Amino acid sequence: MTTMTTPVLQASGVTMRFGGLTAVRSVDFTVNTGEIVGLIGPNGAGKTTFFNCLTGLYVPTEGTVTYKGTVLPPKPHLVTKAGIARTFQNIRLFANMTVLENVLVGRHTRTKEGLWSALLRGPGFRKAEKASEERAMELLDFVGLAAKRDHLARNLPYGEQRKLEIARALASEPGLLLLDEPTAGMNPQETRATEELVFAIRDKGIAVLVIEHDMRFIFNLCDRVAVLVQGEKLVEGTSDVVQADERVVAAYLGEPFEGDPGTAETADVAAAETGAAPQSSTTSTKGEAQ
Ligand SMILES: Nc1ncnc2c1ncn2[C@@H]1O[C@H](COP(=O)(O)OP(=O)(O)OP(=O)(O)O)[C@@H](O)[C@H]1O
């Protein structure tokens, strides 16, 4: 089977300035159909700013972002409507609504029935409502939350709130899902479950773009990884290529490099060999680094 490489998302020359500060500089970036792409970089590298340029929260100072060949409208709800859904770094659920209601809210960009129809509760509305509910239940089943449909969102454990956020994002029937630090605060089991879920989403034909600090998660998951450093795209390639690139290692020195303690240690060893002081902030406990 040949791999299809139709671009879903294409950013060309995206630059974002805040006053005198250039947070993102001339970034070219593509996500193709069927791909899981990771975006990594040290703190302050411009990842969130770039993400916001893709979701219509910011209008880039320069450059364009297209989704399936059409330039994205500069409004988040229009971007969602166009086919890009996202989750947030900090969970944003409707805490006092049920699990099912949260997913139904996510469907509003897809239902044709308008406000009046909803208020008057005509037959068209009831039919649309039933279809919406069926779809919402399918999605809850997909993320493993069907049994909790009537629970209040705020009563779910953390990992399940994250799953619900993903179900709600999927409810807008996106062609591309953007995940902003999906495993933040998760234990290893929850992280592994998220990995499985993202693979399953990709297998449904939805392209995925992930920002994440957990390197092991990113390198396991992604077909391609792009590294932003000081607003610029430094390296892009498969996990193996990116992991082996010494510029990436250098960019992360002084940063906790989760999931790859070996890299920090290797750097310390190299520094010790050249007689320089260790540059990594990670305290090495392994014998060979001393
Ligand atoms: N609205 C804003 N106004 C001014 N400066 C901003 C704004 N948003 C971000 N910046 C600056 O742009 C740079 C990039 O920040 P950004 O949050 O995009 O980085 P990041 O890679 O997402 O970092 P982190 O991993 O810490 O979330 C930083 O120097 C930040 O201070």
Q: What is the CATH number of the domain that holds 13?
A: 3.40.50.300
Q: How far is the CA of 76 from the centre of ligand 1 (A)?
A: 19
Ligand 1 center from residue 252 Cα (angstroms): 17
DSSP 289: G
Q: Pick the residue with more confidence: 274 or 8?
A: 8
On whether both 211 and 238 belong to a single domain, the answer is yes
Confirm whether 30 is domain-assigned.
yes
Q: Which domain holds residue 201?
A: 7-83+174-252
3-state DSSP call for residue 277? coil
Could you report the predicted ipTM of this complex, rounded to two decimals? 0.94
Determine, yes or no, domain membership for 179.
Answer: yes
Tally of domains within the chain: 2
Q: What is the mean pLDDT of the chain?
A: 84
User: For ligand 1, is residue 38 a contact (CB within 6 Å)?
Assistant: no
Q: Confirm or reject: Cβ of 21 under 6 Å from ligand 1.
A: yes
Rounded to the nearest 10°, the torsion over CA 196, 181, 211, 58 is 130
Distance CA 91, CA 70 (A): 29
Question: Does pLDDT of 68 surpass 90?
Answer: yes
The answer on 179 and 74 residing in a single domain is: yes
Which residue has a Cα nearest atom 10 of ligand 1?
23
- Segment 23-47 mean pLDDT: 94
Nearest atom in ligand 1 to the alpha carbon of residue 89 is 27
| Ligand 1 atom at minimal distance to the Cα of residue 50 | 18
Q: Look at residues 152, 171, 190 and tell me which one is the last residue of a structural domain.
A: 171
Domain match, 129 and 183 both: no
The lowest-confidence range among 4-8, 217-221, 227-231 is 4-8
Looking at the fold, whether 75 and 191 belong to one and the same domain comes out as yes
- The answer to the question of residue 270 being in a domain is no
Looking at 171, 200, 228, the residue that finishes a domain is 171
Report the pLDDT averaged over residues 5-14. Answer: 92
User: At CA 33, angle to CA 30 and CA 39, rounded to 5?
Assistant: 40
Pocket flag, ligand 1, residue 41 (CB < 6 Å): yes
Give per-residue pLDDT as tens, 99-144.
999 999 888 766 655 556 556 666 777 777 888 899 999 999 999 9
